[in-house]
Amino acid sequence: MSFWSKLTRHESLFSRMAGQNDADLDLAMQSGSLTPEDYRAGVLSCSICTDPDQCEAGLDRGDHAIPGFCRNRKIIERLAGSTP
């Protein structure tokens, strides 16, 4: 997989995981709750995930639980209002 394909895949996984857990990344960036730098950092963090296939399978099943191994768990929970 090329570098750009990998980033595209992980950008999609990050966005899907956030959306499936009531965190709208686009709205968060528009409101200033998420900076473009933080968004890019989230995509890069996702790109070094140890199990993207398991993440993708859970998203495809419609699982709403964020996997314990998710490197973006805290930011998604914060943006969803689950944590202070």
pLDDT, tens digit (0-9, with 9 covering 90-100), for 14-47: 999 999 999 999 999 999 999 999 999 999 999 9
Q: Which residues contact 30 (CB under 8 A, 6 or more apart)?
A: none
Integer Cα distance of 39 and 61 in angstroms: 25
**How far is Cα 35 from Cα 65, in angstroms, rounded to an integer?**
24
Q: Could you give the CA distance from residue 2 to residue 67 in angstroms, rounded to a whole number? A: 25
- Straight-line distance from the first to the last Cα atom of the chain, in angstroms, rounded to the nearest whole number: 37
Q: For 48-76, how does the pLDDT look when each residue is reduced to its tens digit (9 = 90+)?
A: 999 999 999 999 999 989 999 999 999 99
Q: Which of 18, 45, 20 is nearest to 33 (CA)?
A: 18
* CB 18, CB 24: distance < 8 Å: yes
Domain ranges of the chain: 3-80
Rounded to two decimals, the pTM is: 0.90
